[in-house]
């Protein structure tokens, strides 16, 4: 045990004395949080939508038909009460809902004016505003078509509500994304590099020819990065709360627990890369190309997964960052508890277990 503690101390000394790495380690999350404020435009197709038709009259049915015919929406089902709708939102089954009040057609015909409610899940603000615009334009279309046949113009006033993120702040979307990115970079790249460095300088040879178990070597390399990553999670959260005005709606403890799980996923990946490579450059390249890119592309953070070809959607399921992104979004923004994210957690845990076993199994007790 004393050996182990000393080993971990030595690892901390390595990190601490390498000022450049230290700057990258702690500067990166800050810079990324500050940079990633840019709006990302994206078109959304085939979004799941729920209609709550309390009117069930001619006008509402015609609008629903138009929504159904649109390539932007798939009507998932009709619900009759608010509870069902809310549940569907929380489960993430739908992105948007349209509510027709009772007597919709009547008020349209008699008062020449009718109201309609559009609700959207704005934890992804870009998608939400896009979708509400689509619905509004469908309604506008319908309005125009009835205007033509009537002498007097009608007006339907859509009332739009952005759920979870009423101000459509961009931050909710990218903070979880930056978290996934930073953890991926710190854990995967740094662990891989620090292990490969020992191979490169020949110290691994000396360590192998010692009574110290090779597994402990790996473990003591991973622990400092686990701790540093948790510090990074904390600094990202502090920045998001105090600089971006984005509170953590759910449990902070749960958020840290899930982050730890994801960090372990990344550490296993880092160990795996270090086993398979022999130079620091190689390890860095593989970490960047092999981990960073898929994280950006497939986590749903920059590009909506719903919009990808089916094959890519399947691939995205293999990217651990996707699940972590969903988990963080649910906890931080929607304020959901563990019961809402147990499935994602289970999947992430499964991926982690497989990676951990594979990387530890492939770690060699000899040089070749």
Residue ranges that bind another protein, judged by CB under 8 A: 2-3, 6-7, 10, 13-14, 17-18, 201-203, 205-212, 365-368
Work out the burial of residue 150: count CB atoms within 10 Å of its CB; fewer than 13 is exposed, 13-18 middle, 19 or more buried: exposed
Minimum distance between the CB of residue 5 and another protein, rounded to whole angstroms?
9
* Nearer CB in complex with another protein: 63/204: 204
Neighbours of 51 (CB within 10 A): 22
Residue number with CB closer to another protein (13 or 23): 13
**At closest approach, how far in Å is the CB of 220 from another protein?**
10
For 78-213, where are the alpha helices, taking DSSP H only? 82-91, 104-110, 125-149, 171-183, 191-201, 203-208
- Looking at the Cβ atoms of 166 and 202, the one nearer to another protein is 202
Residue 306 to residue 45: CA distance in whole angstroms = 7
Q: Which of 313, 319, 330, 325 is nearest to 164 (CA)?
A: 330
* Minimum gap (Å) between residue 14 Cβ and another protein: 6
C-alpha span between 143 and 133 (Å, rounded)? 15
For residue 161, list its beta bridge partners.
119
DSSP-derived secondary structure for 345-359:
HHHHHHHHHHHHHHH
Q: Quote the least distance from Cβ 2 to another protein, whole Å.
A: 6
SS3 244: coil
Q: Which is nearer to another protein, 140 or 201 (CB)?
A: 201
Token pair of 276, please? 């398979």
User: What do you get for the CA distance between the two ends of the chain, in Å?
Assistant: 28
Closest CB 270 distance from another protein, rounded Å? 20
**Residue number, 112 or 364, with CB nearest to another protein:** 364
Q: Which is nearer to another protein, 7 or 73 (CB)?
A: 7
Q: How far is the CB of 71 from another protein (least distance, A)?
A: 54
Alpha carbons 104 and 23: distance in angstroms, whole number? 60
């Amino acid at each position: 045990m004393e050996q182990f503690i000393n080993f971990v101390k030595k690892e901390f000394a390595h990190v601490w004395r390498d000022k450049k790495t230290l700057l990258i380690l702690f500067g990166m999350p800050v810079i990324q949080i500050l940079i990633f404020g840019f709006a990302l435009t994206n078109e959304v197709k085939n979004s799941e939508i729920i209609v709550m038709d309390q009117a069930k009259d001619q006008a509402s049915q015609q609008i629903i038909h138009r929504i159904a015919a649109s390539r932007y929406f798939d009507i998932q089902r009709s619900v009759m009460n608010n509870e069902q709708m809310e549940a569907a939102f929380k489960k993430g089954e739908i992105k948007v809902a349209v509510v027709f009040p009772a007597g919709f057609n009547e008020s349209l015909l008699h008062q020449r004016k009718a109201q309609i409610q559009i609700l959207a899940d704005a934890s992804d603000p870009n998608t939400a505003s896009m979708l509400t615009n689509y619905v509004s334009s469908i309604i506008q279309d319908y309005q125009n078509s009835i205007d033509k046949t009537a002498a007097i113009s009608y007006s339907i006033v859509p009332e739009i509500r952005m759920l979870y993120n009423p101000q459509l702040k961009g931050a909710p979307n990218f903070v979880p994304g930056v978290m996934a990115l930073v953890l991926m970079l710190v854990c995967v790249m740094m662990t891989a590099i620090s292990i490969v460095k020992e191979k490169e300088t020949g110290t691994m040879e000396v360590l192998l020819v010692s009574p110290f178990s090779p597994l402990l070597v790996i473990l003591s390399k991973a622990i400092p990065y686990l701790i540093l990553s948790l510090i990074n999670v904390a600094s990202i959260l502090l920045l998001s709360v105090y600089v971006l005005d984005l509170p953590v709606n759910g449990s902070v403890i749960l958020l840290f627990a899930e982050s730890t799980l994801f960090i372990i996923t990344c550490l296993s990946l880092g160990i795996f890369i270090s086993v398979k490579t022999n130079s620091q450059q190689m390890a860095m390249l593989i970490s960047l190309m092999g981990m960073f890119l898929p994280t950006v592309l497939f986590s749903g953070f920059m590009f909506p997964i719903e919009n990808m070809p089916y094959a890519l959607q399947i691939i995205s399921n293999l990217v651990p960052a996707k699940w972590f992104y969903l988990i963080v979004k649910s906890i931080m923004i929607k304020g959901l508890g563990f019961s809402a994210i147990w499935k994602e957690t289970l999947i992430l845990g499964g991926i982690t277990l497989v990676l951990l076993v594979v990387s530890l199994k492939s770690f060699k007790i000899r040089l070749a």
